[in-house]
């Protein structure tokens, strides 16, 4: 008889926690998983899934307009925000149920409520104490909104999915994934949209040419891009509208102001400090190569450790931890060549090194580039352009980075990521016969470098 109630107690039923709990339970491990908000975590409820559904919605009005060039005339298009929002809620509810069934069918005990660590081997939920041989913290991240006069009137990505009414005028603050994506969603659904970023260019950390090209393209979609400025205060008017005052003295009226200025690890109130778990300045849990904290019985994975804040990374970390703890295997996760996408309009897909990173790392590189108007838009009338870019280490001929801005960039780059993981050279790409007519075939037909 074990001295503990459980072998593994997971705090947080997001992507990483659910995967770790299910995989461990399937191996006969006694698992409990506690969640105080919603099964599936940020990604399923207020992140990847509902965001992508709203991105799909935001494309339709443009699609109806473009259809005229193909001989299809649509009548006046009316957008019903409440229907979209409520249909999204129904889908998320369905997914919540699936996650619950997956956990229970795997043998996990699901405990509703906020879990607080009370000792190296104990957790308390709603006044009940549970003991476990190991505790896994997988609580993810939480939106960060800076404090300034009137900041309480702004919303974050947690609230934006379920607005009572759709705003006619919206200000989105931030320059990363979430800000750029939601600016595209609002503009695509018909809102007058300002995207405000304090830096000189959006999407910091991405390839510079990709950043600049994307900025040009989203402006074509009707987004008013405001760089090198910030909001200093927000005042709420008697009619409920908001007035934002900027660093340059401008005042802009809006129905909603969304702050998408980053996320912080969600570790407040978990009791971690009381048991001596080492935290970084931003609240991230410090772990070793085996996802183990300085308290040997406590582990952490996913956004809460602030390595790579992506859902597939949390899944990989959860599986690696279970492999290490219950199969005596390695906890290694390969963080190299992680593909990612930004679902703005048009999409961005990227894997590997930026041109700037490659120049720093290699003695000599070749940059292949193709920019064009997609076949679809020769009839649609859209001025949207596509950019594809490949970076090659000249000494080895190995492709070290691929970037794309255009329709279905995420879908295309996922396949390219497999090739880069396999170590494909430019010669391999050159010898591959393309699929015609597609945009993706450009990646195997670029023969002359744009620059060295």
- Are 210 and 350 in contact by the 8 Å Cβ rule? The answer is yes
Pairing of strands 192-197, 231-236: unpaired
- Three-state DSSP state, 136: strand
Chain CA centroid to CA 222, Å:
23
Q: How far apart are CA 54 and CA 46, in angstroms?
A: 11
Element (H, E) at 213: helix 208-220
Peptide bond into 346 cis (omega under 30): yes
Secondary structure, 3-state, 1-37: CCCCCEEEEEECCCHHHHHHHHHHHHCCCCEEEEECC
Q: How far apart are CA 190 and CA 255, in angstroms?
A: 13
Element (H, E) at 312: helix 311-326
**Residue 349 bridge partners (DSSP):** 341, 404
φ/ψ of 242, rounded to 5, equals -115, 145
DSSP state of 437: T
Neighbours of 83 (CB within 10 A): 10
User: Within 41-198, where are the H helices?
Assistant: 41-46, 48-66, 81-106, 177-188
Radius of gyration of the chain (CA): 24
Concatenate the DSSP letters of all residues of 255-308 into one string.
SEEEE---EEE--TTSSTGGGT--B-TTSPBP--TTSB-SSTTEEE-GGGG-S-
| Residues labelled as active-site residues | 436
């Amino acid at each position: 008889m074990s001295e503990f109630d459980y072998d593994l107690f997971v705090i947080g039923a997001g992507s990483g926690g659910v995967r770790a709990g299910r995989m461990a339970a399937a191996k006969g491990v006694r698992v409990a998983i506690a969640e105080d908000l919603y099964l599936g975590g940020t990604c399923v409820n207020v992140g990847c899934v509902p965001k992508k559904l709203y991105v799909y919605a935001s494309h339709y009005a443009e699609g109806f307009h473009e259809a005229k060039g193909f001989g299809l005339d649509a009548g006046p298009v009316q957008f019903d925000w409440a229907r979209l929002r409520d249909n999204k809620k129904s889908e998320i509810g369905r997914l919540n149920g699936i996650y619950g069934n997956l956990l229970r069918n795997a043998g996990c005990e699901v405990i509703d409520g906020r879990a607080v660590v009370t000792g190296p081997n104990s957790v308390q939920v709603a006044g009940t104490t549970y003991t476990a041989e190991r505790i896994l913290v997988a609580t993810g991240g939480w939106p960060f909104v800076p404090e300034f006069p009137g900041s309480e009137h702004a919303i974050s990505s947690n609230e934006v999915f379920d607005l009572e009414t759709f705003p006619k005028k919206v200000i989105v603050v931030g320059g990363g994934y979430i800000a750029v994506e939601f600016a595209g969603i609002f503009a695509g659904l018909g809102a007058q949209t300002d995207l405000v970023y304090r830096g000189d260019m959006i999407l910091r950390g991405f390839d510079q040419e990709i950043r600049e090209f994307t900025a040009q393209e989203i402006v074509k979609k009707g987004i008013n891009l405001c760089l090198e400025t910030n909001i200093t205060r927000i005042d709420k008017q008697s009619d409920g509208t908001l007035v934002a005052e900027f660093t340059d003295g401008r005042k802009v009226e809006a129905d909603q102001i969304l702050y998408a200025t980053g996320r912080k690890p969600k570790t407040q109130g978990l009791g971690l400090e009381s048991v001596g778990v080492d935290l970084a300045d931003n609240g991230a849990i410090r772990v070793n190569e085996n996802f183990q904290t300085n308290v040997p019985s406590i582990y952490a994975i996913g956004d809460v450790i602030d390595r790579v804040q992506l859902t597939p990374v949390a899944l990989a970390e959860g599986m690696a931890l279970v492999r290490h703890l219950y199969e005596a295997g390695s906890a290694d996760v390969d963080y190299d060549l992680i593909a990612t996408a930004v679902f703005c309009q048009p999409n961005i897909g990227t894997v590997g090194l930026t041109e700037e990173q490659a120049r720093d790392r290699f003695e000599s590189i070749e940059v292949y580039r193709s920019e064009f108007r997609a076949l679809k838009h020769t009839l649609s009338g859209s001025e949207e352009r596509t950019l594809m870019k490949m970076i090659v280490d000249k000494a080895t001929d190995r492709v070290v980075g691929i970037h794309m801005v255009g329709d279905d960039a995420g879908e295309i780059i996922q396949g390219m990521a497999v090739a880069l993981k396999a170590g494909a050279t430019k010669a391999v790409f050159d010898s591959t016969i393309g699929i015609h007519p597609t945009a993706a075939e450009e990646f195997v037909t670029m023969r002359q470098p744009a620059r060295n």
